Amino acid sequence: MQPHELLDQMQRAGLANLSFASPWAARLFGMTLAAAQKKIFSLQEFQQALIASIQLHEQDGCIDSDEQYYTCWLEALQGLLEQQDLIKPERLGVREDQLLAAAQDRHDHQRSGHHHPHHADSEHHA
């Protein structure tokens, strides 16, 4: 699929004018486009999955934040990838636990009085 074809498909699916409040939402968007470009699913199929996810969440009340919207997005993407047998829910749970533990370790490391600088330039690395 050529970039202009992907943009046309995004416009037809109503996905051309999105903005991102957080890096994870932008990455999620990029993963969705990559999957569509590889023809794992069409953007129209994704749009329908997203609508279904939003409708399910709106049974508990209005979606009123970017985080809630992109949680629906994530669920729609996961569902489509699971249908294609490309991801396994049980493996995602394990990976999520690993990522959360790593984030907590980073947080603990930052709060524990670790104050020496980390240098980005190569002269400070062996």
Mean pLDDT computed over 37-45: 92
Alpha-carbon distance of 46 to 3, in angstroms, equals 18
Whether the per-residue pLDDT at 23 is higher than 50: the answer is yes
Domain that holds residue 37: 21-109
**Six token digits for residue 25:** 């939402």
pTM of the model: 0.62
Most confident of 4-8, 9-13, 27-31: 27-31
Give, for 51, the enclosing helix (H) or strand (E).
helix 43-58
| 102 is a domain residue | yes
Structural domain includes residue 77: yes
Whether pLDDT at 60 is above 70: yes
- State how many domains the chain has: 1
- Residue 82 falls within a domain, yes or no? yes
Match 């603990």 to its residue by tokens: 108
Residue given tokens 């992109």 in the structure block? 70
Burial of 57 (0-12, 13-18, 19+ CB in 10 A): middle
Task: Kindly state whether residue 34 falls inside one of the protein's structural domains.
Answer: yes
Structure confidence at residue 17 (pLDDT): 67
The yes-or-no verdict on residue 45 having pLDDT over 70 is yes
Give domain status of residue 126, yes or no. no
> Looking at per-residue confidence, does 58 or 21 come out higher?
58
**Residue 47: inside a domain, yes or no?**
yes
What pLDDT, on a 0 to 100 scale, did the predictor assign at position 47? 93
DSSP element (H, E) containing 99 = helix 89-111
Residue-averaged pLDDT of the chain: 79
Rg (CA), the chain: 19
Query: Is 86 a residue whose pLDDT tops 70?
Result: yes
